[in-house]
Structure 1
């Protein structure tokens, strides 16, 4: 009976995963090697700074980061801009202040403004929303073991455009191998040498895609490193308690357990 139930469950998971991928219509997501993946991974500060530059010079023309405050750019674990650099960067943006009913330069406590292009999604949680799983549907096993998740999806998506286009109801669509149904309303944004990196890194298309994907992962999970540290501490405490409970249990029940005869 148990064997039958196990086979049935595995079959359902396999069929569910296959049908979900077929319905999505997207292509294969490349497994990029991001430094923050895995239990011991951490954000690469230089990569996040490059990703911020890519977002500022390319993505911000259409998209926003409405849930991310400017002050987070100088906090540990992120791009870690200096306090002065963060304030200067914030001041380069304008936000609408309801108190004065006018626009003013942004302050560290302000949040990134919304995107300016109609219909362009906010990118704050994009790395969490675009899971890109390629395993049993909903279980996220590939993200756990291989790291295939939101950042991989974003980087692959940015690199998967072709020259093919079509027009429907006055709207242009662009062919993308990984996008569901393969037609995206967003035009190709990355071609290589799109930015002149401040740290001198060569701005190949793959490099730019990975950098901005890493930055968007940080914008979705700015406290990821702190969460990992808290998890390690919790696991350590639980392991210590398990050992203590084991020996306490043996000591409490030792008088009542019959001794083995030799």
Structure 2
């Protein structure tokens, strides 16, 4: 009797498994975030491509956008003011830019903490002393360091440019944006804590360039690319020289081969 009960339970178990395997499943509800998220826009710069070089005027405009807009929340902790000479600023201009900020130091006479005007060798000004203070000032959102942001994000420049120009669109009906967040389809979760940072004519370019959102986004993205990879031009030049050397070496090696083995009968 016990054996028959065991066999019956086994058959019942197999039947349940077969029923579960053959019964059609309901389609899973699509993730609205994945449906709304967009791939970055296509964008090109003067430094795009294997032979591209940085546009110094664009880099200086990009630094102006960073300085007047982005630096209120975001730092660039890996750059020193003297690095700005690489994008066309004169030593005097760099000194003047650095002197606009105060940095902490120790008074040699009293040993107390004090401040002094920054000098070219100092790192860029930090808007917040630490992460805790940054989160407290930004509704618990932490503004990331922008020194390497282009390399730290997938699609690099295209992502940064798309994010900066992706505000202003209305979310589809039925999609609710949580309080304190903003809709941007180019952000990975489409809800971002950063409010729209750029608006037309937000800065006044010294060279007279029209400061549209698109122009400012391009300029600051180019500046951030330079900040993340300032050796880009040198690396490309070294690569071209290396390839040219290898090409010449290959030709010489082939000619030497022909000469050495010219008298050998096959």
Superposition TM-score tier, normalisation by shorter sequence: 0.7 to 0.9
Partner of 1:193: 201
Deviation at 1:249, TM superposition (A): 2.0
Question: Matched residues in 2 for 1:70 and 1:153: separation?
Answer: 26
Partner of 2:15: none
Partner of 2:150: 127
Matched, 1:178 2:193: no
Question: Matched residues in 2 for 1:103 and 1:257: separation?
Answer: 83
Q: How does 1:156-235 map to 2 (within 5 A)?
A: 156-162=162-168, 166-167=177-178, 172-235=180-243
- Change beyond 3 A, Cα 1:102–1:257: farther
Partner SS for 1:95: strand
Q: What is the aligned residue count?
A: 214
Deviation at 1:23, TM superposition (A): 7.0
CA RMSD after TM alignment? 2.1
Are the aligned partners of 1:158 and 1:189 in contact in 2 as well (CA < 8 Å)? yes
Are the aligned partners of 1:114 and 1:122 in contact in 2 as well (CA < 8 Å)? no
Name which of structure 1's ranges 60-69 and 86-95 shifts more when overlaid on structure 2: 86-95
Matched, 1:72 2:53: no
Deviation at 1:69, TM superposition (A): 1.1
Deviation at 1:99, TM superposition (A): 6.9
Partner SS for 2:201: coil
Unaligned 5+ segments in structure 1 are 1-21, 133-149
1:50 aligns with one of 61, 71, 83: 61
Per-residue CA distance 1:34-89 (angstroms, 9 max, x = gap): 001111111111111111110011000000111011111112xx2x1011011100
Question: Matched residues in 2 for 1:23 and 1:213: separation?
Answer: 25
Q: How does 1:1-262 map to 2 (within 5 A)?
A: 26-75=37-86, 78=87, 80-97=88-105, 101-116=113-128, 117-118=134-135, 119-132=142-155, 150-162=156-168, 166-167=177-178, 172-258=180-266
Question: Matched residues in 1 for 2:122 and 2:265: separation?
Answer: 66
Question: Matched residues in 2 for 1:224 and 1:97: separation?
Answer: 34
Are the aligned partners of 2:74 and 2:143 in contact in 1 as well (CA < 8 Å)? yes
Are the aligned partners of 1:24 and 1:180 in contact in 2 as well (CA < 8 Å)? no
Are the aligned partners of 1:25 and 1:180 in contact in 2 as well (CA < 8 Å)? no
Deviation at 1:254, TM superposition (A): 2.9
- Give TM-score, length-normalised by structure 2: 0.75
Are the aligned partners of 2:36 and 2:185 in contact in 1 as well (CA < 8 Å)? no
- Change beyond 3 A, Cα 1:217–1:249: same
Question: Matched residues in 2 for 1:73 and 1:188: separation?
Answer: 27
Are the aligned partners of 1:125 and 1:216 in contact in 2 as well (CA < 8 Å)? yes
Deviation at 1:192, TM superposition (A): 1.3
Deviation at 1:28, TM superposition (A): 2.3
Question: Matched residues in 2 for 1:204 and 1:59: separation?
Answer: 16
Unaligned 5+ segments in structure 2 are 1-32, 129-133, 136-141
Question: Matched residues in 1 for 2:102 and 2:252: separation?
Answer: 57
